Amino acid sequence: MTDVPPTDDPIPELRRAPSLVLVNTGDGKGKSTAAMGVMIRAVARGWKVAVIQFLKSGDWATGEQKTAERLGVDWWAIGDGFTWDSDDLDESAAIAQEAWNKATDVISSGEYSLVILDEVTYPLIWGWVDLDEALAVIEARPDHVNLVLTGRDAPIQLVEVADTVTEMRNVKHAFEQGVRAKKGIDF
Ligand code: ATP
Ligand code: MG
């Protein structure tokens, strides 16, 4: 350490990326809430933002959806109708594919500077959405379209195409002490 503040850019060869792909994965809490944090930053910069939710935890809108809509963020919860315990897997797969088609349109249109695909890893893992097709859409996106993808067990190929990947590690969670999900904290 010196007493003098640095005057030169310490890493002058750093480049500016036209856009980034972020993946928030792991079994700890914070994947979706961190994505919403990026949403807030993007709105502050005047970006158009879209959120597509691939799983929905009920009929009610989450707190983040309510806030997003107030901020002018476009939100699709196309998970409507397919759930963890859907007994009709063919139907669930078809709905997931429909959600992916929407995501493809939203990404490829170039209309949005930030697209958040919340809980997208699950349909990819379960084979409801073709991983190679998804990777192709991500890689062929217009230059300025930033992406945030969330969900546990991100496939390795997705990790490879991403720029920044964070694994939330569960240290402890209130749920394990028998505490139910809390409004304002969990949804
Ligand atoms: P959040 O939306 O709170 O950021 P997340 O996106 O990381 O959580 P998900 O796997 O999408 O986690 O689960 C969503 C819900 O499950 C939230 O209510 C969250 O608090 C809860 N949850 C997240 N991680 C755990 C965990 N390790 N054990 C139990 N419940 C969890
Ligand atoms: Mg989540």
The pLDDT-based confidence of 2 (bands split at 50, 70, 90) is: low
Which residue, judged by its Cα, is nearest atom 24 of ligand 1? 29
Cβ(28) – ligand 1 distance below 6 Å? yes
In a domain, residue 14? The reply is: no
In a domain, residue 48? The reply is: yes
pLDDT value of position 57:
54
Q: State the CATH number of the domain containing residue 143.
A: 3.40.50.300
Measured distance CA(148)–CA(30) in Å, rounded: 13
Measured distance CA(40)–CA(56) in Å, rounded: 21
Residue type, 51: V
- Tell me the per-residue pLDDT of 18-53, one tens digit each, with 9 for 90 and over: 999 999 999 999 999 999 999 999 999 999 999 999
Range of the domain at 83: 21-169
Cβ(186) – ligand 1 distance below 6 Å? yes
Calculate the average pLDDT of the chain: 91
Count of the separate structural domains present in the chain:
1
pLDDT value of position 1:
61
Buried b (16+ CB within 10 A) or exposed e, 142-171: eeebbbbbbbbebbeebeebbeebbebeee
Q: Which atom from ligand 1 is nearest to the alpha carbon of 33?
A: 4
- Residue 187 Cα to ligand 2 midpoint, Å, equals 10
